[in-house]
């Protein structure tokens, strides 16, 4: 039974692609140089390889879980830093407006003539405009300017020969920009004069 058609039984096995036995496998009775392996050794080698792959898979799952946790922590840290920066910027803007509030409180506590009261309110208004200007807030130019739909919102068209066509006649509500970003368009009345 050892030979079949002049070949040994072990020659039919694919020894080159056989899984290696697990380290420390006591069931392997063949020596390292021997080409013959028993079915028990093949099964235990496959089980060892399976255990090795399971261990590698578990290791990769653990690494993935750690990387995901690190990513979540980094995302939370970045969101907190952004919120802290926004809070700091907002606090800085509020600090610049506090002197205006102080001036309003002093004006309301003072007993003065209406003309003095008006001049005090005008000073407070200028103080507020200066504080907003330092923050980068600017009024949108409107009256006498050509109508610009990017910065003006037309509330009414007025037929007139006193102004050029599409010229802003009156500003009903002032518009504001923050640096180059429009905060609110100016509400305006616009001239309609096809003759000019």
- pLDDT of 191 reads 92
In degrees rounded to 5, what are phi and psi of residue 114?
-60, -35
Within a domain: 14: no
44 with 106, same domain? yes
- pTM given for the model: 0.55
91 with 45, same domain? yes
Give the residue-averaged pLDDT of 77-99. 90
For the ranges 35-44, 88-97, 146-155, which has the lowest average pLDDT?
Answer: 35-44
Q: State how many domains the chain has.
A: 2
Within a domain: 23: no
- pLDDT of 195 reads 65
What does the alpha-carbon distance between residue 68 and residue 60 come to, in Å, rounded to a whole number?
A: 12
- Residue 98 sits in a domain whose CATH number is 3.90.20.20
Is pLDDT larger for residue 15 or for residue 135? 135
Q: Are 89 and 75 in contact (CB under 8 A)?
A: no
CA 53 to chain centre: 39
45 with 126, same domain? yes
In which residue are the tokens 């496998």 written? 25
What does the alpha-carbon distance between residue 31 and residue 41 come to, in Å, rounded to a whole number?
A: 12
Q: What is the pLDDT of residues 157-191, one digit of tens each?
A: 999 888 888 999 999 999 999 988 999 999 999 99
83 with 118, same domain? yes
pLDDT reading at 92 higher than 50: yes
Q: Are 190 and 154 in contact (CB under 8 A)?
A: yes
- Residue 165 sits in a domain whose CATH number is 2.30.22.10
Q: Distance between terminal CA atoms of the chain?
A: 116
Give the residue-averaged pLDDT of 71-89. 93
Within a domain: 184: yes
- pLDDT of 180 reads 87
Q: Residue 183 belongs to what domain range? A: 137-196
In degrees rounded to 5, what are phi and psi of residue 57?
-60, -45
107 with 194, same domain? no
What does the alpha-carbon distance between residue 42 and residue 21 come to, in Å, rounded to a whole number?
A: 7
Closest alpha carbon to 42 in 13, 64, 70: 13
Please state, as a whole number, how many other Cβ atoms lie within 10 Å of the Cβ of residue 128.
17
Q: What is the mean pLDDT of the chain?
A: 82
42 with 121, same domain? yes
131 with 50, same domain? yes
Is pLDDT larger for residue 26 or for residue 177? 177
- pLDDT of 15 reads 53
């Amino acid at each position: 039974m050892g030979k079949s058609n002049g070949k040994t039984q072990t020659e039919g096995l694919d020894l080159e692609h056989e899984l290696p036995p697990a380290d420390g496998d006591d069931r392997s009775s063949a020596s390292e140089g021997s080409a013959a392996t028993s079915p028990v050794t093949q099964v235990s080698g496959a089980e060892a390889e399976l255990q090795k792959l399971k261990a590698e898979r578990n290791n990769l799952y653990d690494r993935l879980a750690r990387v995901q946790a690190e990513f979540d922590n980094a995302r939370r840290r970045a969101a907190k830093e952004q919120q802290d920066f926004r809070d700091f910027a907002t606090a800085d803007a509020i600090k610049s407006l506090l002197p205006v509030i102080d001036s309003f409180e002093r004006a309301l506590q003072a007993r003065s003539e209406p003309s003095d009261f008006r001049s005090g309110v005008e000073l407070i208004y200028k103080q507020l405009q200066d504080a907003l200007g330092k923050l980068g807030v600017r009024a949108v130019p409107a009256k006498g300017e050509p109508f610009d739909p990017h910065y003006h919102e037309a509330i009414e068209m007025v037929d007139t020969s006193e102004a050029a066509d599409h010229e802003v006649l009156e500003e009903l509500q002032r518009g504001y920009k923050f640096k180059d970003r429009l905060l609110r368009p100016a509400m305006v009345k616009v001239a309609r004069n096809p003759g000019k």
